[in-house]
Structure 1
Amino acid sequence: MPCWASRSRPWRTGASRWAAMKTAFWVSAFLVAYIYVGYPLLLAVWARLRPADGPRSATVEPHGLPYVSVVLAARNEGHQLRRRLDNLLSQDYPADRFEIVVVSDGSTDDTPRVAARYAPRVRYLPLPRGGKALALNAGVREARHPILVFADARQRFAADALRRLVAPFADPRIGGVSGELHLGTEAEGGRRGEPRDEGVGEGVGLYWEYEKWIRRKESAVASVVGTTGAIYALRRAAWRDLPSNAILDDVLTPMRAVLMGYRVVFEPAARAFDMTPADAEVERRRKTRTLAGNYQLLRLEPRLFVPGLNPVWLQFVSHKIGRLVVPYALVALLVSNSALASAGPLYSLALILQVAFYVLALHGATLALAPAVQQRPAREASKAPATLDTARSRVPKEWMNASLD
């Protein structure tokens, strides 16, 4: 072999590695930019140029409102169930047109006694502990009416929430409706005496506003790819029993309705209220559970990943699957950028910005936007344990609202 050919091998190897790093950098940068900037811009343009027809609203006359069953699954919620039932029974909705079904998932507190006080307006169904999914299945079987509304014990509804939530069902194309969850203060329905980490709350609140904007645009062009677990409704004809281990009923259920040919829309006028997370650990566990549920969708409903079968395939992949990829793209972006730091001013600047971002996330409490910035790396980092938990079949079983993504 000529000696010049032998000498060229290291150069070729180095050039190949250099090209691989550049490819990794630009692919990762594109993925992150598309998920958090490109996709929202695409939705904004799409909603403006080719919006879907808006759902036809129901008449405001009481006799024109549909019959509704509110299904509330609970486990050891006696301490807040009374206030929740008072809130539901005070809805601006004809009393003879809605019922409340409380399903207890093996509660060991005073949940049965509290629910019994509200009979016959509230029907109570005790079950041995089997998880939220089985409780919801039982609640739907017990329900009598064609429109199902799902609620949790912790949140509160605005007085007109039920009326607003079910109005779009006047349009037979609508199979599901998501209300809007407002994260706020004690006065808006939170729990008294609970210490809060304001930095965590502000970060989650800003992210949630971004998420709701995405849902508005998705609803405008076709269907949302997930509902708000605290307040959503489904046409009974679109309901299918949940697997016993289902984590995200508020994603799996509406997406099944979409696969059946229905639209699922976002109705911001149907408002529910909740407190922001108490601290970073609560938010981390909730987020881990949410991401584990998103991974679980791969197994439970593979049709969602087939373009010809899923009418909102682009939205689903961009909104749900893309966010599962982001943490790995961020790692690849940082590693490849570090290797390319000397390749030119563009790469040097990109590395400086990345390092500054992570430093700010750790030590940026003095800046006004620090809470929101701090939450982004933590939110992405929480996806790693979710991946491991799902792979090991160690999905969290505790009852927790997991609807903010």
Structure 2
Amino acid sequence: MSRAAILIPAHNEAAVIGRTLWYLSRGLPFDRFRVIVIANGCTDATAARARAALPAAEVIETDRAGKCHALNLGYRAADPGVPIVCMDADLDVTAEAVSALVRRLSGGQHAACGKMDVATSDVSAAVRLFYKGWRTNPYFNKGKFGGLFALSAEGAARVFPLPEITADDEFVRRSFATGETAFVPECRFVARAPATLSSLLKVRRRSLRGAREVARMGKASPERGSARAMVCRALTAPSDLLPIGFFFLVTIWVRLILVVERPANAPRWERDLTTRTTG
């Protein structure tokens, strides 16, 4: 039996799944970790690329698209009673980072997250400015619960099967008390920022729409005071005034868009394709 299962849902990720598995597989002890890629609703060569990049991985294919559905399939396929690592298919995550997460699942802590670095070298100036402000959010002092997180066997049993929602990571995060979630600073992983402002707005709309959906399920966010802390920082650190101001401008812009959009016409999943470049 493996010590942990790594679930990677992948929808049309042929351009990046090879890179993701290459990073992950370097030094990964396959006698202790089982890698399960769930290619869901793909119309490209995601499954074939995954098998070629990492023959040791188990690749599950389903015609039904949906991240939560894919994660549920992966969870059912995993060995029973082991920790679960959930990670997006477009991240740079090393074996050391994953191992660090799983090691912290003890002593009443049933979830673990690490520190996400956002690559902004190939994006527009507006997107780069937004993320400079975004990084000042004190929420990230306790890590980034999204894209990559680990759950103990008990923690996984608490949240699986996942409901059909957009913000699966937010649903999972809000299912645990603050003391049940460990921040693992030695776990660092890289995500890529949307290249354009229009793509950034899509991602932010999806994020906020998903968070509101989770809130309607009765799972309130434990975060309080982040906006106030960012405003205070902007007023006391002149170099941060412009990026933080732009961050709030984009946030208000997205909220206004959500106010006027018709729920029936709102897309369930607004995907950023600018980060899906072969690497």
- The count of residues paired between Structure 1 and Structure 2 equals 259
Local SS of the residue matching 2:79: coil
The structural deviation recorded for 1:374 is: 2.4
**1:105 matches 2:40:** yes
Question: What residue number does 2:252 align with?
Answer: 380
Identical-pair percentage: 21
| Aligned partner letter, 1:285 | K
CA RMSD after TM alignment: 2.9
Moved over 6 A (4+): none
Structure 2: 5+ residue stretches without partners? 229-234, 274-279
Give the whole-Å Cα distance in 1 for the aligned partners of 2:4 and 2:250: 40
Deviation by residue 1:125-170 (Cα, 9 ceiling, x = unmatched): 1011331111111111112261111111211014521122112113
- TM normalised by structure 1 equals 0.57
Among 163, 172, 178, which residue is 2:113 paired with?
Answer: 178
The structural deviation recorded for 1:282 is: 1.2
| Aligned partner letter, 2:129 | E
Deviation by residue 1:29-67 (Cα, 9 ceiling, x = unmatched): xxxxxxxxxxxxxxxxxxxxxxxxxxxxxxxxxxxxx81
Deviation by residue 1:1-22 (Cα, 9 ceiling, x = unmatched): xxxxxxxxxxxxxxxxxxxxxx
Among 242, 245, 250, which residue is 2:162 paired with?
Answer: 242
Give the whole-Å Cα distance in 1 for the aligned partners of 2:126 and 2:11: 29
Question: What residue number does 2:131 align with?
Answer: 204
The structural deviation recorded for 1:379 is: 1.6
Question: What residue number does 1:214 align with?
Answer: 139
| Aligned partner letter, 1:197 | S
**1:255 matches 2:195:** no
1:17-96 aligned within 5 A: 67-91=3-27, 93-96=28-31
Local SS of the residue matching 2:162: coil
Higher helix share: 1
Deviation by residue 1:324-372 (Cα, 9 ceiling, x = unmatched): xx9xxxxxxxxxxxxxxxxxxxxxxxxxxxxxx9xxxxxxxxx885344
Local SS of the residue matching 2:136: helix
- Is this contact kept in 1: 2:117–2:191, CA < 8 A? yes
| Aligned partner letter, 2:252 | E
Among 123, 135, 139, which residue is 2:58 paired with?
Answer: 123
| Aligned partner letter, 1:127 | T
- TM normalised by structure 2 equals 0.81
Q: Choose 1 or 2 for highest CA Rg.
A: 1
**Which piece of structure 1 moves more, 369-378 or 77-86?**
369-378
Closer, same or farther: CA 138–387 of 1 in aligned 2, 3 Å: farther
Local SS of the residue matching 1:284: helix
**1:229 matches 2:229:** no
1:293-332 aligned within 5 A: 293-300=210-217, 302=218, 304-305=219-220, 315-316=222-223, 318=224
Question: What residue number does 1:282 align with?
Answer: 199
| Aligned partner letter, 2:176 | A
Local SS of the residue matching 1:117: helix
Question: What residue number does 1:160 align with?
Answer: 96
Give the whole-Å Cα distance in 2 for the aligned partners of 1:267 and 1:136: 23
The structural deviation recorded for 1:185 is: 5.0
Closer, same or farther: CA 236–372 of 1 in aligned 2, 3 Å: same
- Is this contact kept in 1: 2:124–2:197, CA < 8 A? yes
